[in-house]
A and B are shown apart, each in its own frame.
Chain A
Amino acid sequence: NAGVTQTPKFQVLKTGQSMTLQCAQDMNHEYMSWYRQDPGMGLRLIHYSVGAGITDQGEVPNGYNVSRSTTEDFPLRLLSAAPSQTSVYFCAVNRGQDTEAFFGQGTRLTVV
């Protein structure tokens, strides 16, 4: 039982490249979300999903795309990487409203 698994753990991209951050869960929870963590700013919500086929924007969605074709997976796509997207990205999963969120170990992304 792995919980929430993020891959890769580290990534370096050149400006303009695209990539996909993977998030997989084996908890069978409906709610999944992506956050980015920047120094002194806590975590900010990028995109979220309340179930397969349903996604919506969070606080900082620009430059990112998501889709949710299965309950288990919620990939985050960077369309054209920019240095401002250098950050640590966390995927979170929770059962529903007002419930504890379980976080993956994070992906540290550097865009040069």
Chain B
Amino acid sequence: AQSVTQLDSHVSVSEGTPVLLRCNYSSSYSPSLFWYVQHPNKGLQLLLKYTSAATLVKGINGFEAEFKKSETSFHLTKPSAHMSDAAEYFCVVSDFSGGYNKLIFGAGTRLAVHP
């Protein structure tokens, strides 16, 4: 069965410094992986997705993630944090078992950005 582990429940950075949100996954086959962002009291928005094309995936708002099969990781990065990046971030893996694209969510990482 597929699973996702987000290694940090909270990350705090200063505005203008790099962001790193860590995600490890477990999958019995080549997975599809996603990062979603949830701003306070809002729904979820897709940041980026990996579906076995390029291993470095670029998303919206300057975020990118690198798929590393040998490390079973899909870490999310951004070179320079902005105050508006403060939100909760979810790493997600697709589980195709049973004929449906079930999304398996990590527990989430809350990103705080300080002036």
Contact = CB atoms under 8 A, between A and B. Distances in A.
A binds B: yes
Contacts, number: 59
A99 B101 contact: yes
Nearest to B102: A45
A84 interface: no
Contacts of B107: 40-42
Nearest to A57: B98
Pick the most buried of B34, B44, B46, B98: most chain A CB atoms within 10 A of its CB: B44
Interface string B91-104: 00010101111110
A44 B49 CA distance: 19
Interface string B76-115: 0000000000000010001010111111011110000000
A90 B43 contact: yes
Interface in A53-112: 56, 58, 90, 92, 94, 96-101, 103-106
A106 B43 contact: yes
Interface in B12-46: 32, 34, 42-46
A98 B51 contact: yes
A97 B96 CA distance: 8
A98 B107 CA distance: 21
Most central of A35, A42, A48, A104 by chain B CB within 10 Å: A42
A interface, how many residues as a size bin? 20 to 34
A97 B42 CA distance: 25
Given A90-B43, A98-B51, A100-B49, A42 B101 contact: no
Interface of B: 4, 9, 32, 34, 42-46, 49, 51, 90, 94, 96, 98-103, 105-108
12 contacts: A33-B102, A35-B103, A35-B105, A42-B105, A56-B100, A58-B102, A90-B44, A96-B101, A97-B96, A98-B51, A101-B44, A103-B45
Interface of A: 4, 31, 33, 35, 40-45, 48, 50, 56, 58, 90, 92, 94, 96-101, 103-106
